[in-house]
Amino acid sequence: MQAITMTAPPGYIESYYSATAKGIVARAPLADTVDTDVCIVGGGYTGISAALHLAERGYAVTLLEAERIGWGASGRNGGHVGIGQRKGQAELESMVGKETARTLWQYGLEAVDLIRTRIGQHAIDCDLKDGILHVAAKSSHAEELQQEAEMLQRDYAYEKIRYVEQDELSSMIGTGRFFAGQLDTGSAHLHPLNFVLGLAAAAVAAGASIHEQSRVVKITGGANPVVETAQGRVRCKHLILACNGYLEGLAPSIAGYIMPINNFVLATEPLPDDTARSLIRDDVAVQDTQFVIDYWKLSGDKRLIFGGGENYSRKFPADLKGFVRKFMLKIYPQLSNTRIDYAWGGTLAITMNRLPRFGRTADGVFYAHGYSGHGVPTATFAGQLLAEAVAGTAERFDVMASLPKARFPGGTLLRWPGLVLGMLYYSLRDKF
């Protein structure tokens, strides 16, 4: 059967999210010289959330986005809003000590709360639903999930998580392929593009100026940075870089600590109610425990939104539908006759140790990026911490900025070959 898809609004890539975007407003490119308190580069969760928090605090804010709001990872991701950090608490405790691990746990809870609060406060229509189910792709992972759930209940008094035995799990996700699960009803999932569009509308209502199609091509640092686009410039007191996987050459001194990688997603045709329920009984989001994870959920109109596969080049695979579909069919062979309506890719930034990178450059430019696949909550929260830091209350920002960091071997230019080898090694371990 011929695929039926709706087209994307101008300037957005074709995806299920862009086809179902709500509240897209064209925001004029920067066309002259502007003086402002804070200039923000990048219109994803990091930049837009910072703009909203700063405008609420009374700062004059100008945000420059090279493409459209949510054009980057924030408008393309899986929409999973996970509790905690990208790393589990046990690992965090050994990486940064118990006290900091506890603080990070608290930040993780606040990040998810912040998303729920913003959605409620600004009436953002983005299909928010509760629950993420982690599923063990290997038998050894089942024990890890169980231990982690017990640890969170015992040491962190977190009651919203429970271990799920294999029999029950099979009835929850329509496959016996996984060994056990861990259900976290404090986590959530949403329509990622509609969330960032709603945040942008709130930022503008609070007084922020947003310019789309305004790629920053030059930054002159110092006490009063000047930021230039092809047609205009912004003179500001504070500058925030919020470009994540799309930072490229804009800030070479910080780029070597993150690596852009690509991840891919598809959306099936809308499924009959009983089929949808047979795949995900309780409408939670699901993600497995592989190094390169497969993740899935149902959209508001009951399509399966399935993410699977990565690559580490500057190009996406030519046949994206076929590329992601093979991961989906390994789990759900019963969908072999289901039409794939959309497939798309996005670029995110990872760090060597998978802890996010927050900081200030030698010139005093603030940045936050490298959320390593946990950016829906962490980037949204980063916006709040960036705003606090600009306002002079940097305690929480500094906790994040002081987390261990490591440069990718090979620096800005030569880090790719090492990354590709490393990632291939770990993705092969997923297979065997």
Residue 243 found at the interface with ligand FAD (CB under 6 A): yes
Backbone angles phi, psi at 40, to 5 degrees: -120, 130
Closer CB to ligand FAD, residue 13 or residue 170? 13
Residue 276: which H helix or E strand, with range?
Answer: helix 273-279
**Residue nearer to ligand FAD on the CB measure, 202 or 379:** 379
Contact range with ligand FAD by CB under 6 A, out of 3-11, 41-49, 268-276, 419-427: 41-49
Distance between CA atoms of residues 385 and 380, nearest Å: 9
Q: How many CA atoms lie within 13 Å of 81's alpha carbon, on the beta-carbon side?
A: 30
Could you write out the DSSP letters of every residue in 8-47?
PPTTSPS-HHHHT--S----PPP-SEEEEEEEEE--SHHH
Give SS3 for 384: helix
- Asked if 246 is part of the footprint of ligand FAD (rule: CB under 6 A), the reply reads yes
Near ligand FAD in 336-355, by CB under 6 A: 346-348
423 scored as a contact of ligand FAD (CB under 6 A): no
Single out the residue of 27, 42, 136, 367 in contact with ligand FAD (rule: CB under 6 A). 42
Sorted by sequence, the CB contacts under 8 Å of residue 427 that are 6+ apart come out as: 290, 291, 292, 310
Using CB under 6 A, which of the segments 15-23, 93-101, 242-250, 331-339 binds ligand FAD?
242-250
Q: How far apart are CA 285 and CA 297, in angstroms?
A: 4
Beta bridge partners of 236: 36
Please identify which residue in 15, 36, 46, 290 interacts with ligand FAD, judged by CB under 6 A: 46
Nearer Cβ to ligand FAD, position 79 or 181?
A: 79
* Span 111-140, contacts to ligand FAD by CB under 6 A: none
The span from the CA of 241 to the CA of 231, in Å, is 19
Contacting residue, 131, 186, 245, 260, with ligand FAD by CB under 6 A: 245
Q: Which residue is nearest to ligand FAD (CB)?
A: 375
Q: Least distance (Å) from ligand FAD to the CB of residue 286?
A: 11
Structure tokens at 59: 């700062």
Of positions 216, 276, 324, 389, contacts ligand FAD by CB under 6 A: 216
Q: How far is the CB of 300 from ligand FAD (least distance, A)?
A: 16
Are the beta carbons of 11 and 71 closer than 8 angstroms? Answer: yes
For residue 174, state whether it binds ligand FAD (rule: CB under 6 A): no
Q: Which of residues 270-309 bind ligand FAD (CB under 6 A)?
A: 307
Give DSSP secondary structure letters for 103-136. Answer: HHHHHHHHHHHHHHHHHHHTT--S--EEEEEEE-
The Cα 308–Cα 377 span in angstroms is 20
- Tell which positions 374-393 bind ligand FAD, by CB under 6 A: 374-377, 379
78 binds ligand FAD (CB under 6 A): yes
Smallest gap from Cβ 293 to ligand FAD, in A, equals 9
Which is nearer to ligand FAD, 53 or 146 (by Cβ)? 53
For 181, phi and psi rounded to 5 degrees?
Answer: -145, 175
Query: Looking at residue 244, what DSSP letter applies?
Result: G
Q: Is 320 in the site for ligand FAD (CB under 6 A)?
A: no
The residues pairing with 349 across neighbouring beta strands, listed in sequence order, are 260
Q: Which residues bind ligand FAD (CB under 6 A)?
A: 41-47, 64-67, 71-74, 76-80, 215-216, 242-246, 250, 263, 265, 307, 346-348, 369, 371, 373-377, 379
